[in-house]
Amino acid sequence: MRRLLLTTAVATTAALTLTACGTTEPAADDAKKTTERITLIDATGTKVELDGPAKKVVGTEWNVVEHLIELGVDPVGVSDVKGYKTWDTAVPLKNEPKDIGTRGEPSMETVAALKPDLILATSDLPPAAVKQLRKIAPVLEVKAADAADPIGRMTENLDLIAKATGTTDKATELKKQFEAKLDEGRKALADAKLAGAKYAFADGYVVSNQVSIRPYTSGSLIGAVNEKLGLKNAWTVKGDPAYGLGATDVEGLTKIGDVQFAYIGNDGDASSNPFAGVLAKDKVWTSLPFVKKGNVHRLPDGVWMFGGPGSMNKYVDSVVAALTK
């Protein structure tokens, strides 16, 4: 033990001598230019001041990243890039941003090294982490989700990000497109005599042979879009106050009756698609009225269920396509 300690000591001293006392960055010099300043109030009530439209932006959550790409600003840093590429192909990354770690614990150091003009965070990040990020660069914290008004929350976030990046015109255009898409979808469903159809959307996952199902209640973004399309939400379970997601299992599906059932899985994540996998042999599943009638629709991969107008547009297209087949 003592010998071990000694060698460590010697090794560290050696390592320290070898670590030349250089610097990786020159000492600070104060040279700041001021252009048109932008002042915003974010979701926490914090005043965010920017020297101009933000160009180098980092996003800690996928929904804000999606907003950014849609607004034509390519993020310099994104958390869990691989995951984004897997789950959100509706609005794909156009550049190769730096991976800044997980969505729950973005690495401060990587973010700082990117020297962003603006960091987009959501209320899902621990307050302590947001406080630290604010020291690196101005942080625009948006409310992650709000089951009281999911679509309103999405567009407000989009507007806020647009203001910060000087892309308000693009945001207006995106919102118009989204409204148009909703109308188009509603009309297509009404023409197919599906107005007011009972509809349930869920995702599911398998952990050690056990299937958990997450109902998307009317408080979820997807749920709100469904209602705009004139579909009737069939879930009776209560969702959480932010995302409007509930929890249930296979037998809980017996409560929703005869509906149109849709889900999104992902081929890149083996545990994310129980409906066509594990459940194919499950008697409860196979005896559900909507399964018997073949009213189960797997919507195309890559629509991020908590994303922005881009994902939702694609979602509307896929629902309409699936139900009017």
Partner 1 sequence: MAVTATTPATRPPTATSRTGAAPVTAALLLLVVALAVVDITQGTAAVGAPEVWKALTGRADPADASVVVASRLPRMAAGLLVGAVLGMAGAALQAVSRNVLASPDTLSVNAGSYFALGLASVTGVSLPLLASSGLAFVGGLAAAAVVLGLSGLGTGTVRLVLAGSALTLGLTAVTEGLLLLFPQQTDGIYHWNQGSIAQNGFDGVLQMLPVAVVGLVGLLLLARRIDALALGDDAARGLGVPVRATRLTAVVLAALLSTAAVTLAGPIGFVGLCAPALVRPLARRFRGFTRTRGSLPLAGLTGAALVLGSDVVLRVLVPSDVAVAVPTGVVTSLVGALFLVVMATRTRDTAAAAETDRLRIRSRGVFLTTTAVLVVVLVGVVIAALLLGDAKLLLGDVLNWAQGRAGRTTAFVLDTRVPRVLAALLAGAALALAGTLVQAVTRNPLAEPGILGVSGGAALGAVLLVTTVPMVGSWGVAGAAFAGAAASSVLVFGLAAKDGFRQNRLVLVGFGVATGASALISLLIILTDPFNAIKALTWLSGSTYGRTLPDVVPLAAVLAVGVVVAAARRTELDLVSLDEDTPRLLGLNLGRGRLGFLALAVLLSATAVAAAGTIGFVGLVAPHAARALVGRQHARVVPVAVLIGAVLVCVADLVGRTVIAPAQLGAGLMTAVIGTPYFLYLLVRSRRG
- Range 194-223, binding partner 1 (CB under 8 A): 203, 205, 207-212
Shortest spacing between CB 226 and partner 1, in angstroms: 20
Q: Tell me: does residue 99 bind partner 1 (CB under 8 A).
A: yes
Among 113, 195, 321, 322, binds partner 1 (CB under 8 A): 113
Query: Which stretches of the chain are DSSP H helices?
Result: 2-18, 62-70, 81-87, 108-114, 127-136, 150-165, 168-191, 221-228, 283-286, 289-292, 309-323
Q: Which of 38, 119, 250, 299 binds partner 1 (CB under 8 A)?
A: 250
CA distance 268 to 84: 11
Alpha-helical segments (H) within 119-235: 127-136, 150-165, 168-191, 221-228
Which one of 176, 190, 287, 293 is in contact with partner 1 (CB under 8 A)? Answer: 287
Residue 64 CB, nearest approach to partner 1 (Å): 16
Size of the site for partner 1 (CB under 8 A): 87
Report which of 144, 90, 62 is spatially closest to residue 313, judged by C-alpha positions: 90
Segment near partner 1 (CB under 8 A), from 18-26, 45-53, 172-180, 294-302?
18-26
Nearest approach, Cβ of 125 to partner 1 (angstroms)? 9
Among 86, 168, 177, 218, binds partner 1 (CB under 8 A): 86
- What's the min distance (Å) between Cβ of 278 and partner 1? 6
**Beta carbon of residue 108, minimum distance to partner 1 (angstroms, whole number):** 4
**DSSP H or E stretch at residue 192:** none
| Amino acid sitting at position 237 | V
Pick out residues in 125-144 that bind partner 1 (CB under 8 A): 126-129, 131-132, 135-136
In the complex, the smallest distance separating the C-beta of residue 181 from partner 1, rounded to whole angstroms, is: 25
Sign of the CA dihedral with 212 first, then 215, 219, and 223 last: positive
Single out the residue of 12, 52, 148, 276 in contact with partner 1 (rule: CB under 8 A): 12
As a whole number of angstroms, the distance between CA 254 and CA 186 comes to: 27
Q: Which residues in 254-283 contact partner 1 (CB under 8 A)?
A: 254-255, 269-272, 278-279, 281-283
Measured from the CB atom, is 6 or 180 closer to partner 1?
Answer: 6
Q: How far is CA 67 from the centre of its chain?
A: 10
Residues in the chain: 325
Please report whether residue 46 would count as binding partner 1 according to CB under 8 A.
Answer: no
Stretch that binds partner 1, among 89-97, 99-107, 170-178, 224-232 (CB under 8 A): 99-107
The CA angle 173-177-180, to the nearest 5 degrees, is 140
- Give the dihedral of Cα atoms 71, 74, 79, 81; nearest 10 deg: 110
Distance between CA 322 and CA 300 in Å, rounded?
Answer: 10
In the complex with partner 1, which residue's Cβ is closer, 141 or 194?
141
Query: Taking CB under 8 A as the rule, does residue 151 contact partner 1?
Result: no
